[in-house]
Structure 1
Amino acid sequence: MKGIVFNSFVSFIEENYGLDFLNYLEEKTGPESEFAYTTIGNYSSSEIVNCLIVMSEESGRSVNDITINFGQYLFQSLAKAHNKFIEKYDNAIPCLYALENEIHKQVRKMYQNTSLPSFDVHLNDEGDELSMLYLSKRPMADLAEGLIAGCIEHYGNSCKVVREDKEPFNGTHALFTITNI
């Protein structure tokens, strides 16, 4: 995963749990990077997963819930860093629809050797319902759900999001249906 995600994760922890907790996480999980990331560097997603497990144990919140919250936070960070992609759209559904063919395409140009999840997207004829099949080698469907929620929040839309996990049911495959309400 790219360093921009990890830097956002560190900021998420600092803002929501405090610097002392971040130091505690570093001590408890012993990340190889020592929480020092460059934006374009590649890092193991296991560092985030290990932190999420400890955060869950310490807070009593589920790993899923924390990951979804981080996804919401991450969308805002990415929107600030890459606002030229985001400002082209006036609501969440067109932005999400463009994710694979426009936004991920540009990300791959900017960050070579990146391994992004893929989305098979379909928009209904009315343009008010989008289905997104998330496929990844990493078990980050919760993060994708949070990013979708963050996108909806960013544009101020009212949408219903339904998630259906797909085989192998380990967070690497999920179908999201987003409907304007």
Structure 2
Amino acid sequence: MKISVTIARIIVGVLFIFSGLIKAIDPLGLTYKMQEFFEVWGREGYITPLMNWMYKCSFVFSIIMITLEVVLGVALLTGFYKKLTLRLLMLLMIFFTFLTSYVLFSGKIATCGCFGDCIPLTPIQTFTKDIILLLLISFLLLKQQYIKPVGVVLPVGLVLASVIAVCFLQMYVLTHLPLTDCLPYKKGNDLLQLRKMPANA
């Protein structure tokens, strides 16, 4: 059982860190995706004043979400405050699963942007991923007694370092440019070629 818990812990932790970092290289991308959700929900009449306010705060939400993903991934891998970490991970996964199910079943938003623009996934792929992660986190919650922190000082140091590192990364790319531009109109691409109608369109 301990081996199964360790494997699940590594999978969830690494995926959360990777997901956060892939968004951290372009936090504005997640901001625009959040704005798309809030705009659609506001237009549909779901507490429109609240959606309009959240639309304006999308950039702050983006920074917080990215940082939280990375920090929770590191916290899970190091065993830092495991009960709190697992509960926050579960809440995030329930929220993410709601978003991906909305994208999949409503058809009003093309993608959820789970891995940013660098790794585009179809709605069914993202929904399946979230269901698997939800099951893994549920398993970890049930078997959390097998999660042991890697020392006392190390988890605290790594969590603090991850907060500083991911915040610095986001500040850097916002001041300069994304470390990797995955959008079609990135530097070096031929704009005239990109504007042409694809074959058999």
Note whether the superposition's TM-score is higher than 0.5: no
TM-score after normalising by structure 1: 0.26
Query: RCO (CA 8 Å, sep 6+): is it higher in 1 or 2?
Result: 2
Greater share of helix residues, 1 or 2? 2
Greater share of strand residues, 1 or 2? 1
TM-score after normalising by structure 2: 0.25
Larger radius of gyration: 2
